[in-house]
A and B are shown apart, each in its own frame.
Chain A
């Protein structure tokens, strides 16, 4: 779901940065409003690294295996830190592995980070009717991740089909959209289930990790 360098025109790359800046500013503003924001920086940073590493876990989906994006889970656990964390993760992926890109960093942050922020709001709804239970945590964890991946996949597909410098006819374009969309549906459910399992696990083992977000 990472758009690489060289695929999108400059205007779209610049628009991605222009959209990422206010979201980053908003997230940092919200982080600064919590007690001592620097206290949470090491936690957010190490969890960012942990999410980065956890995305290396391969889930077997015969005949192949997939690795997860985990943006929904990041939203659930990191709250307002999710967008900066994803921005940093994407930056490190671009400079260390050439995955994604520097010119498309803003666009990729919007594609993955924006829905992660939305996932954090969805996950917060689990405590709407008093204390969060295992069931409500699992359900809202699933929904948060399902929505995050679904929206990311939709944004990725729309951007790629509309802005790739190629003359695709309407029929090919429709097929490409359908194929990309269908390809992401199993991933949405796998990510949702994975987030549900992990959030319930965290609720049992370290519940403060979920309440702090």
Chain B
């Protein structure tokens, strides 16, 4: 990320959203809304003095620490590890921006006078040849499944919260502690929270087994606590993964085969995990100090909006749809738009790197060629016959048909770069004005007629049998 930020040919538009995409491969026109960060990017040095000075002492939950710590209204994103490393002022938290009343201590603290409360939304317009979508994933919210009691005790945490807890830059400087500040003695890890579950997502989220094994290893290593893993199957699918699973087993982690059915919080705050040990065929109840829920990867909550902005489709599980699950896993059905990483499906780091590198290479090879290869089987409109009814426009799955006004009426026209030649518009045109090249009505009619001029294969067989 740091390298991308420094690269002279890469322009990062952070704190921004894509509002509108038009055009087609080689000629995309993109409108990007840049939200105001109330800090001049050129002047800010990322020193963090404004965050120190910000009067919002009680702060708001720090999203980078999954809400385990708090930050002020002026802050350095990602605990000062963000790219670009510049301060930002959260307009929903800032007292001045919200209520207009504040001593504005940040203004005084800033040595370079980078803070600018007058900043407004800015629309940036870009002309690009290709678009690579790398919008990532969202974590499953375990409070959607009440049986896990998420939110009822601060010691029932999800995988991301644990990740922050054990991170050296996290709220506890890497110590694994319960909310009461003590080392846990017994920890439960529950697999498949929000995945392989008909009440949430049916798919396997792929990464949770391995990150849970890592969590078990970290807990054993840092605290020596007893760790109980409740799993249905361990999917250690990658290179050296099975070996890591064996290593964690040897570290003394208790593996209980069976879905963690329920997490209960007793009146005295004691957490109890209830499950079935399917190997022994007995129910188990285990009291623990901490529960880590191996939450699933889900499609971004706004994936539907992004898909419609870009004109790409989504699969049944909400992730963006690839053009072919095996052979074109990072293409979309829209030429010039590629997918990288977990926006397409849950992936671990090596898979994401491979997928994203392939997508980047494909994007570059498209751009360096300077021209695109299109299929000759496209639809074409006969202007003389088109009555301008616009029936075809709504039918086209690629938005390849546009309407050209000519005085009071107009005609439809097909963009041959966008058209994939499915022929749906041809079948629907009431005026018969659209022709599908190589699959025209005359050609298909001739095929039908031809089939009745030659003897039926079944009759031929009979004749051959007689002679």
The answer on A and B forming one complex is no
Residues of B within 8 A of A (CB): none
- Listed in ascending order, the chain A residues whose CB lies under 8 Å from chain B are none
